[in-house]
Amino acid sequence: MNAEMINVWVKNLGRNYAELVSEGVISSQSLTPLLDASENKEWVQYPAHGVELWFIKENKIFEKVLLTLGQTDDGGPAYNGSLPSPFERHMTQSGVRSQFGTPAKSIGPMIIPGSGGKKSGGWDAYKLHQTMHPSARVGFSYSADMTVETLAFSLSQGDLN
């Protein structure tokens, strides 16, 4: 997995699973429900450690690329490949804000519900540059020490336009 592949995936957000498989953009690896519950609305493909490709269950539209950069709660491995510029594997909230400016949307530190008191550093979201995708955003979620835990490229849902 590398920065070039991530760029290809981001450029293809909003397209259908079958089209992406037939064009070789993603593998034909099966999609699995994100949650076990019947109200599950997403399907996910796990092409590499720390990488999740999310699809809307109802129409299999590609909606998100999620990269886990830090150690997961369940001890799973993090993504260790390269990232597209200007993103880096080791970032902090202050570095993100210095590089990207004031976030379009932000949530501060909080206790994660159902985590037994684990604290999160919150998250920031920015509209992606037109050259990456005309209607997508990038989100950074932070650990309690304000380092980036996950990097998510997703279709904008009207809140960042």
pLDDT in tens, 1-37: 788 999 999 999 999 999 999 999 998 888 888 776 6
Pairing between strand 105-107 and 62-68? Answer: unpaired
Angle formed at CA 130 by CA 24 and CA 2, multiple of 5 degrees:
40
Residues near 157 by Cβ (< 8 Å), separated by ≥ 6?
A: none
pLDDT digits (tens, 9 = 90+) for 99-153: 999 999 988 877 766 556 666 788 999 998 777 888 889 999 988 888 899 999 9
Domain boundaries, the chain: 3-32+41-155
Residue with tokens 């390269």: 82
Q: Which two tokens stand for residue 5?
A: 């592949």
How high does pLDDT run on average in the chain? 85
